[in-house]
């Protein structure tokens, strides 16, 4: 059940229907077909029209506004690390709007020469195909997967006045009190919404979804008791957990988060299927030269395996992943199917 206590995000008419844009969803580390994260062997410099790549400024499109959100912050860390290694400027091009579709479409329509790279995530590429009827791009047909960058997990937190201190007690309370738990999210189809739907599907419990227009609005109502729970991104609620303002129940992942090392994972607590978060990936437009793909993949893995860079990402709540392009291609396909099932279950549409 979903009630609209806060209106969901509106789609700009200029782009038509489009996917949920919060940087959000599922833990790639849990994917059974995920390839190991070791980088492939370094190839020769990829061919380019005007010499070896890169010989001029590289642009990374981020389909979200600038200003410190999770996607923008992580992309800027990656761009800084990339710039150190390629000897050219690497700039962030924020293309927010239409829940990520404006930026993704700009990436798909760019020249496949390696000078425009798309930094995108699950909400736009995995949830969108099920959430919207007429996307202006196809996540699998219009892009060349480069590298699976990392994952920011969701964490289940509850109002501290509830008599709930762990995952078992949360389940017992939900079963004993159908629809008594209102859980907040950043909108229909967001990672916070679909994480709650995943919990409901795995446990057979009933909760009420309350969409908000921002994470902060949901957290405010969680603190006041207007809602009882959130499956928030760990970056959006870690401060409140450390301050004791909310009760942490479990991180929806297979590994503990450096941001909340004392909070157990759902896998530890006997629910390995309850894994959800926002994963990030690098993409080039369809038709990019295979040698360029290999070169950029090698560069991405070098960054992700560097201890200092890894620490920078972890400070922002992201566990690094990496691996060959095939890992991202396979994972994206699986995530599209998984998110479609959850969207169908929830009945969410943003058309």
For 40, residues 6+ apart whose C-beta sits below 8 A from its C-beta are: 294, 297, 298, 301, 324
Are 117 and 68 part of one and the same domain? yes
Are 81 and 160 part of one and the same domain? no
Are 214 and 131 part of one and the same domain? no
Whether 19 is covered by a domain: the verdict is: no
Q: Which residues of the chain have pLDDT under 70?
A: 1-50, 351
Assign residue 177 the CATH number of its domain: 3.40.190.10
Residue with tokens 């239409």: 98
pLDDT at 69: 86
Whether 299 is covered by a domain: the verdict is: yes
**Lookup: tokens for 121:** 């995530």
Whether 267 is covered by a domain: the verdict is: no
pLDDT tens profile 279-318: 999 999 999 999 999 999 999 999 999 999 999 999 999 9
Are 162 and 95 part of one and the same domain? no
Whether 201 is covered by a domain: the verdict is: yes
Are 147 and 287 part of one and the same domain? yes
At which of 236, 251, 266 does a domain end? Answer: 251
Are 178 and 293 part of one and the same domain? no
Please give the angle made by the CA atoms of 187, 192 and 193, to the nearest 5 degrees: 60
At which of 200, 235, 251 does a domain end? Answer: 251
Whether 17 is covered by a domain: the verdict is: no
Are 146 and 159 part of one and the same domain? no
Are 177 and 231 part of one and the same domain? yes
Are 162 and 130 part of one and the same domain? no
Nearest to 287 by CA among 92, 107, 94: 107
Are 294 and 147 part of one and the same domain? yes
Are 222 and 312 part of one and the same domain? no
Whether 266 is covered by a domain: the verdict is: no
Are 127 and 179 part of one and the same domain? no
Buried b (16+ CB within 10 A) or exposed e, 102-133: bbbbbbbebebbbbbbbbbbbbbbbbbbbbbe
Domain of 232? Answer: 154-251
Tally of structural domains, the chain = 2
């Amino acid at each position: 059940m979903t009630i609209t206590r806060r209106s969901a995000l509106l789609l700009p008419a200029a782009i038509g229907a489009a996917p949920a844009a919060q940087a959000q969803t599922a833990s790639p580390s849990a994917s059974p077909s995920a390839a190991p994260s070791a980088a492939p062997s370094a190839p020769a410099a990829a061919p380019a029209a005007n010499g070896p790549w890169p010989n001029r400024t590289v642009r990374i499109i981020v389909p979200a506004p600038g200003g410190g959100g999770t996607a923008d912050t992580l992309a800027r860390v990656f761009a800084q690390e990339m710039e150190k290694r390629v000897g050219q400027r690497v700039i962030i091009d924020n293309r927010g709007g239409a829940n990520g579709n404006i930026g993704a479409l700009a990436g798909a329509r760019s020249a496949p020469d390696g000078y425009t790279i798309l930094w995108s995530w699950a909400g736009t590429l995995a949830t969108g195909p099920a959430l919207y009827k007429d996307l202006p791009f196809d996540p699998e047909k219009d892009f060349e997967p480069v590298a699976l960058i990392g994952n920011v997990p969701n964490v289940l937190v509850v109002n501290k006045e509830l008599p709930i201190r762990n995952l078992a007690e949360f389940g017992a309370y939900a079963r004993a009190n159908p629809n008594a738990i209102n859980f907040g999210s950043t909108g229909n189809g967001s990672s916070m919404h679909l994480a709650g739907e995943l919990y409901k599907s795995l446990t057979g419990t009933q909760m009420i979804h309350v969409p908000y227009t921002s994470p902060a609005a949901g957290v405010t109502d969680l603190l006041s008791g207007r809602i009882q729970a959130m499956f928030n991104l760990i970056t959006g609620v870690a401060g409140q957990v450390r301050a004791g303002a909310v009760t942490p129940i479990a991180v929806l992942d297979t590994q503990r988060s450096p941001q909340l090392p004392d909070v157990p994972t759902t896998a530890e607590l006997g629910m390995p299927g309850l894994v959800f978060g926002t994963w990030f990936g690098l993409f080039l437009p369809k038709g990019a030269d295979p040698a360029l793909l290999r070169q950029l993949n090698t560069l991405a893995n070098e960054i992700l395996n560097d201890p200092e860079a890894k620490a920078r990402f972890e400070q922002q709540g992201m566990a690094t992943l990496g691996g060959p392009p095939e890992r991202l291609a396979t994972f994206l396909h699986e995530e599209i199917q998984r998110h479609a099932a959850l969207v169908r279950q929830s009945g969410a549409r943003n058309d």
